[in-house]
Amino acid sequence: MTTHQRNFPSIDPTKLERLAETAVRVGLRLQPGQDLFLTAPVAALPLARLIVEQAYKAGAGLVTPIFSDEEIALSRFRFAPEASFDRAPGWLYEGVARAFAANTARLAIVGEDPMLLAEADPAKVARANKANSIAYQPALEKIAGFDINWNIVAYPTVSWAKRVFPGDEDEVAAGKLAEAIFAASRVDGDDPVAAWTAHNSALGRRTEWLNSKKFHALHYSGPGTDLTIGLADGHDWQGGAATAKNGITCNPNIPTEEVFTTPHARRVDGHVVSTKPLSYQGTLIDGIAVRFEAGRIVEATAARGEDVLRKVLDSDEGAARLGEVALVPHSSPISKSGLMFFNTLFDENAACHIAIGQCYAKCFVDGDKLTPEEIAARGGNKSMIHIDWMIGSDRIDIDGFDANGARTPVFRKGEWA
């Protein structure tokens, strides 16, 4: 058994099995006879095997896994010809899109080294990302439109763990990251399903309150931030479990602490700074500061990774506009852990955040019945990308404004008001 395939003794096998079961039973709610498309790093094979086992126990028709490898990924940037970086396997993504159209569920295990491409040529990284985003669009539309039940979970690979705990030996670091993942994913107790039922209920109460207010806009104020985010016409707040167009209620992200909706792509004004670094495709982008006018980012700087940020914003017309706004209290379990995970799945659940790029069709009232043209008319954004970055802290206040300008406190010092 290779190093990439073994599970460290410091990773609790009982909790790992609970995570696999939770991914299938809570995250996907996989249905008997439903196929599953699974992606994972080779280093996450111990969790992938457990998930496949749980999927077949739940009655999966066929599970198709595809694995990635860090060394293979690096080989491209070390040795591939120049033309390689403007290409992507469109044939593969077209097949994935057809699978999603046939009601195949989607599960992704993440755990790659967040700084894997830090030493690679930023221009090549940007070109490869753009080519991949364009090729992936047919499949992304099925995910962004919430056509199917899907889920993302994490595995504590050594390369990732060493970024979070750089001073520890491999096994110790992996064990620490595993415990952090298990706690955030609510599988460190005896009954994760019950824990998720209670958590989903709490998030549901937040979304009900926000939807009852029918806010026209949110205003953020704090150090370096004076930002007004208009909300899309007919927007719908979501959080926790939600029902996909195929009728299956699932939890797309494990963990999750957010409630989120669709901003109006043409009604965002002001300036905002990031409060946590963004790890994007192997590059760390830190100290982001942007200014919006009429919904579009017109000025953008970063203390680190600015070149990559600018290339991302130039991906397409919608890349410099917002597709998501999410509220997360500063006291969330992930925030209280004090850890920087260098992984958006976790870090976005430590703070309020926004996402540039593609909006979620499900974040509209009767969104499953709206055409792309109707979504755009209501303020929904379209892009080949969707990238979250954190703007919340214990020094941020948020107010909601209705159509008449009446103000309601939503957050005070990073907490629900």
Burial of 107 (0-12, 13-18, 19+ CB in 10 A): buried
Residue 6 is predicted with a pLDDT of 55
Kind plus residue range of the DSSP H or E element containing 219 = strand 217-222
List the beta bridge partners of residue 415: 412
Residue 7 is predicted with a pLDDT of 66
**Helix/strand/coil percent split, the chain, to 5:** 40, 25, 35
Kind plus residue range of the DSSP H or E element containing 49 = helix 45-57
Q: Could you say which residues of the chain have pLDDT below 50?
A: 1-5
Residue 161 is predicted with a pLDDT of 98
- Note the pTM of the prediction, 2 decimals: 0.89
Dihedral in degrees, nearest 10, Cα atoms 310, 312, 313, 315:
130
Dig out the tokens for 349 from the structure: 């659940």
* pLDDT, tens digit (0-9, with 9 covering 90-100), for 285-324: 999 999 999 999 999 999 998 988 998 999 999 999 999 9
Q: Burial letters for 26-43: b for 16+ Cβ neighbours within 10 Å, e otherwise?
A: bbbbbbeebbbbbbbbbb
259 closest CA partner among 336, 213, 205, 221: 205
271 closest CA partner among 228, 232, 213, 239: 228
- Distance between terminal CA atoms of the chain? 52
Say if residue 255 is preceded by a cis peptide, omega within 30 of 0.
Answer: yes
The residues near 375 (Cβ < 8 Å, ≥ 6 apart) are 359, 361, 364, 367, 382
Delineate the domains of the chain, giving CATH numbers in brackets. 3-184 (3.40.1830.10), 213-416 (no CATH)
Q: Burial letters for 382-393: b for 16+ Cβ neighbours within 10 Å, e otherwise?
A: bbbbbbbbbbbb
Residue 4 is predicted with a pLDDT of 45
Residue 1 is predicted with a pLDDT of 38
Q: Hey, what amino acid is at 373?
A: E
* SS3 assignment, position 371: coil
Check: CB of residue 61 under 8 Å from CB of residue 35: yes
CA 326, CA 210: separation in Å to the nearest integer? 12
Supply the DSSP string of 78-128, one letter for each residue. Answer: HH--GGGGG---HHHHHHHHHHHHTT-EEEEEE---TTTTTTS-HHHHHHH
